[in-house]
Chains A and B, each alone.
Chain A
Amino acid sequence: MSKLFVDLMIAFRSLVQHRRRTLFLGTAIAAVTALLVLLTGLSTGVRETMIDTATTLSTGHVNIGGFFKVTAGQAAPVVTDYKRVIEVAKKTVPEMEFVVHRGRGWAKVVSDTGSMQMGITGIDVRSEPKFASVLQLVSGKLDDLAEPGTILIFDNQAEKLGVKVGDAVTISAPTTRGTNNTVDVRVVAIAHSLGLLSTWNSFIPIDTLRKLYQFNQDSTGVVQIMLDRKDLDRKIPEISARLRTALEQAGWRVMDADPRAFWMKFQSVSREDWTGQKLDVTSWEDEISFMTWTLKALQGMSVVLIAILIAIIIIGIMNTMWIAIRERTREIGTLRAIGMHRREVLWMFLLESIMLGLFATVAGVAAGAGIASGLNAMHLHVPTGLQFFLMSPFLHISIHGSALVQAVVTITLVTAVAAFYPSLRAARLRPVVAMSHFG
């Protein structure tokens, strides 16, 4: 123990003695670590925003959707007898945080100056616990969405339709039997755009959606199950399988697992030769599978950037170590001459690098976390084009303790690995040659 303490003291004193070099290299390592923390934080932030946004706008963590076919060729995204579906879900998934149901539709929205096709989600805003926390209203009141004949749209849609709160728009859509129906709705709230998902999405009270499509009161579009965030990655496949079995046992026909959004299944479902109700169990990743490429692209870019940064660290450390060894060759020779083993010389240099790496990464992590907190607190607006992919009008960097520890361990290890070969060469020096070195 005292030997390790002595070694640590030697390493520390050596770092202090060569403070200029230590400071230079340490700053470089700290900067790279801070950058790593920020990049990982950005990637995690986008993922979390994506999950929050997606699970607010268009999907639950686990969904029980499905199709109702009046004839073999006409499929509608409808779940009939949804209250019984919810009962089964509650019994089967005791770990659920809460469950909501929403209507699904696709319609033409016509204002006095324009029109656009958009997804229509029917909700009961009073039973949506997280809805208000994700949406940021530009104008209007979210509570007014509880009134029949109202609509919530996003600012990009309001701009395109040329409407503001209080204006009326007409929604036109074909019913399951193919007859076009229309309802007039009043814009009661306009929310900040949430990127890709909010471009084609709008919200109306579920009863208004039922009126538009002439659905019964016991029909909905999807039952959305929300879980605790910690359960998201590991439990969803198991919960989905459990739900499939339970729903089949309760008498429903359940579609085979298909990792695509519900609207991508219309063609294949319409081609199938069955009528009536079939349920479909999907995860949030399935429902936004068409856009997870943005996250993958960001993660890919982060990996490339981190790899470049690590390569720079390795080259920098190796270079600095070569210089250090050259400067300290006579010292190494003397130490070897008074009886220090090669292994101990190797350990001495490695320990010095590890210590430098540790101090620098801790400083880098602190700086990275500080910058991230500062940027988050500033509520920085991201450019509109970027909002489309980030799904948020603001920059959000998510820093978790585990990510910080991971950054410290990774960069310190990289430092040690980079220092290994120069340290090995130093340990292999013959004492006589080393002592007679002038440089």
Chain B
Amino acid sequence: MKMTTHRTRTTSFAFALALLASLAVHGRALAALTTPQMVDLLKIVDDRQKNNGDWRANAYLEQKEKDKVDVVYETEYYRRSSDQKFMILFLKPKSSAGQGYLRIDKNLWFYDPSVGKWERRTERERIGGTNSRRSDFDESRLAEEYDPTDEGEEKLGAYTAHKLLLKGKSGIDLAFPMIRIWIDKDTKNILKRQEYALSGRLLRTSYYPKWKKVRSESKGADVWYPEEIRFYDEVEKANQTLVLIKAVDLHALPANLFTKAWLESKSR
């Protein structure tokens, strides 16, 4: 009799455990995003930042490095959605004035007026020696460039965020082949990014504390952009870069703007 009671209790306990496990699995399945859902989420993130036209803005880059004097660069940058053209022109300090980056046909060129030469650079290029990359200033193309994996939800202060691991698609020149990204569940703005090498080494952590919107005529909707980005170097721990984006102008730019000749003329 005693033995039978014991057996009944064991069976009930096992059943309860199985039920709990099944609920946990089911719960997780409910929480986890499917691949199409993740791609859709990335498309929303991209679309919010897309302008479908021209873009001009000022960017201030403050670079802090260990044992070095802080440097602030004032730049003007331009982009065109239709053919993914992109250009940055350095205005200050005087030593860097006239330098610039120009992206044509997926090739990134750097111009230094002190030597008068163009150099082809890759997407890993640190803009002006800071910890920012060209893609940090461009329209977001996450859905096009990366394959996502869901890592659940996570609290970032007061915000609840979708956490995704993005792996770069082959054949695309990317600044970082692997990114962990936190997307605000409510606004779909990026809150935080961690950028990795393929070895899994963490290279950079980026925070996006301020997002702003501006009305775009060409898009017929609002365009969101990060007004402030903070980059923390995870390799050289003491180094960090602050990027402030100001004076966004979405009016059409001259047709001949994205040319080597235009950039060269700015230093004459």
Q: B120 contacts A181, CB within 8 Å?
A: yes
Q: State the Cβ distance, A214 to closest chain B Cβ, in Å.
A: 9
The distance in angstroms between the C-alpha atoms of A184 and B176, with both chains bound, is 11
Of A158-166, A237-245, A415-423, the one with at least 4 CB within 8 A of chain B: A158-166
Judged by a CB distance under 8 angstroms, whether A182 is at the interface is yes
Find the A residue at minimum CB distance from B118: A179
Of B40-48, B145-153, B195-203, B240-248, the one with at least 4 CB within 8 A of chain A: B195-203
Judged by a CB distance under 8 angstroms, whether B235 is at the interface is yes
- Chain A residues within an 8 Å CB radius of B235: 112-113, 162
Judged by a CB distance under 8 angstroms, whether B227 is at the interface is no
Which residue of A167, A179, A184 contacts B201 across the interface (Cβ within 8 Å)? A167
The distance in angstroms between the C-alpha atoms of A164 and B197, with both chains bound, is 10
Q: State the Cβ distance, B174 to closest chain A Cβ, in Å.
A: 9
Judged by a CB distance under 8 angstroms, whether B136 is at the interface is no
The distance in angstroms between the C-alpha atoms of A92 and B146, with both chains bound, is 52
Judged by a CB distance under 8 angstroms, whether B135 is at the interface is no
Find the B residue at minimum CB distance from A139: B199
Judged by a CB distance under 8 angstroms, whether A186 is at the interface is yes
Q: A165 contacts B121, CB within 8 Å?
A: no
Question: Within B74-132, which residues are at the interface with A (CB < 8 Å)?
Answer: 117-125
- Chain B residues within an 8 Å CB radius of A164: 199, 201
Interface size on B, residues (CB 8 A): 19
Q: State the Cβ distance, B260 to closest chain A Cβ, in Å.
A: 12
Which residue of A162, A170, A178 contacts B124 across the interface (Cβ within 8 Å)? A170
- Chain B residues within an 8 Å CB radius of A112: 197, 203, 235-236
- Chain A residues within an 8 Å CB radius of B198: 166-168, 186
Q: A182 contacts B197, CB within 8 Å?
A: no
- Chain B residues within an 8 Å CB radius of A182: 119-122, 125
Q: State the Cβ distance, A125 to closest chain B Cβ, in Å.
A: 19
Find the A residue at minimum CB distance from B173: A184
Judged by a CB distance under 8 angstroms, whether B177 is at the interface is yes
Q: B120 contacts A180, CB within 8 Å?
A: yes
Q: A168 contacts B124, CB within 8 Å?
A: yes
The distance in angstroms between the C-alpha atoms of A112 and B201, with both chains bound, is 11
The distance in angstroms between the C-alpha atoms of A113 and B201, with both chains bound, is 13
- Chain B residues within an 8 Å CB radius of A187: 199
The distance in angstroms between the C-alpha atoms of A167 and B195, with both chains bound, is 12
Judged by a CB distance under 8 angstroms, whether A435 is at the interface is no
Find the A residue at minimum CB distance from B107: A181
Q: State the Cβ distance, B262 to closest chain A Cβ, in Å.
A: 19
Q: B120 contacts A179, CB within 8 Å?
A: yes
Interface flags for B187-215 (1: CB within 8 Å of A; 0: not) read 00000000001111101000000000000
Q: State the Cβ distance, A138 to closest chain B Cβ, in Å.
A: 14
- Chain A residues within an 8 Å CB radius of B118: 179
Interface flags for A166-202 (1: CB within 8 Å of B; 0: not) read 1110101000001111111011000000000000000
Q: B119 contacts A184, CB within 8 Å?
A: no
Which residue of A113, A162, A165, A179 contacts B119 across the interface (Cβ within 8 Å)? A179
- Chain A residues within an 8 Å CB radius of B236: 112-113
Q: A184 contacts B117, CB within 8 Å?
A: no
Q: State the Cβ distance, B228 to closest chain A Cβ, in Å.
A: 24
Find the B residue at minimum CB distance from A166: B199
Q: B119 contacts A167, CB within 8 Å?
A: no
The distance in angstroms between the C-alpha atoms of A165 and B200, with both chains bound, is 10
The distance in angstroms between the C-alpha atoms of A164 and B196, with both chains bound, is 13
- Chain B residues within an 8 Å CB radius of A186: 198
Which residue of A167, A170, A178, A179 contacts B122 across the interface (Cβ within 8 Å)? A170
Q: B199 contacts A179, CB within 8 Å?
A: no
Q: State the Cβ distance, B102 to closest chain A Cβ, in Å.
A: 14
Q: A166 contacts B122, CB within 8 Å?
A: no
Find the A residue at minimum CB distance from B204: A112
Q: Evaluate whether A180 and B119 lie within 8 angstroms (CB atoms) in the complex, with A167-B197, A167-B198, A168-B177 already known.
A: yes
Q: A166 contacts B197, CB within 8 Å?
A: yes
Q: Evaluate whether A167 and B199 lie within 8 angstroms (CB atoms) in the complex, with A112-B235, A113-B235 already known.
A: yes
Question: Within A402-417, which residues are at the interface with B (CB < 8 Å)?
Answer: none
- Chain A residues within an 8 Å CB radius of B122: 170, 182-184
The distance in angstroms between the C-alpha atoms of A166 and B203, with both chains bound, is 12
- Chain A residues within an 8 Å CB radius of B124: 168, 170, 184
- Chain A residues within an 8 Å CB radius of B120: 179-182
- Chain A residues within an 8 Å CB radius of B200: 166
- Chain B residues within an 8 Å CB radius of A162: 235
Q: A168 contacts B119, CB within 8 Å?
A: no
Q: State the Cβ distance, A153 to closest chain B Cβ, in Å.
A: 13
Question: Within A24-40, which residues are at the interface with B (CB < 8 Å)?
Answer: none
Find the B residue at minimum CB distance from A184: B122
- Chain A residues within an 8 Å CB radius of B121: 182
Find the A residue at minimum CB distance from B109: A179
Q: A179 contacts B203, CB within 8 Å?
A: no
The distance in angstroms between the C-alpha atoms of A171 and B160, with both chains bound, is 41
Interface flags for B150-184 (1: CB within 8 Å of A; 0: not) read 00000000000000000000000100010000000
The distance in angstroms between the C-alpha atoms of A170 and B125, with both chains bound, is 9
The distance in angstroms between the C-alpha atoms of A413 and B235, with both chains bound, is 67
Q: State the Cβ distance, A149 to closest chain B Cβ, in Å.
A: 9
Find the B residue at minimum CB distance from A180: B119
- Chain A residues within an 8 Å CB radius of B117: 178-180
- Chain B residues within an 8 Å CB radius of A180: 117, 119-120
Find the A residue at minimum CB distance from B233: A112
Find the B residue at minimum CB distance from A112: B235
Q: State the Cβ distance, B74 to closest chain A Cβ, in Å.
A: 25
Q: B119 contacts A181, CB within 8 Å?
A: yes
Which residue of B123, B173, B199, B203 contacts A165 across the interface (Cβ within 8 Å)? B199
The distance in angstroms between the C-alpha atoms of A166 and B174, with both chains bound, is 15
Q: A172-B119, A179-B118 are in contact. List 19 more A-B contacts (CB 8 A).
A: A112-B236, A162-B235, A164-B201, A166-B199, A166-B201, A167-B197, A167-B198, A167-B201, A168-B198, A178-B117, A179-B117, A180-B117, A180-B120, A182-B120, A182-B121, A182-B122, A182-B125, A186-B198, A187-B199
Interface pairs (12), CB distance under 8 Å? A112-B236, A113-B235, A113-B236, A166-B197, A166-B200, A170-B122, A170-B124, A179-B120, A180-B117, A181-B120, A182-B125, A184-B124
Q: Which residues does A use to contact B, with CB under 8 Å?
A: 112-113, 162, 164-168, 170, 172, 178-184, 186-187
Q: Which residues does B use to contact A, with CB under 8 Å?
A: 117-125, 173, 177, 197-201, 203, 235-236
By Cβ-Cβ distance, the 9 closest A-B pairs, closest first, are: A166-B199, A180-B119, A166-B198, A167-B197, A112-B235, A184-B122, A181-B120, A182-B122, A167-B199
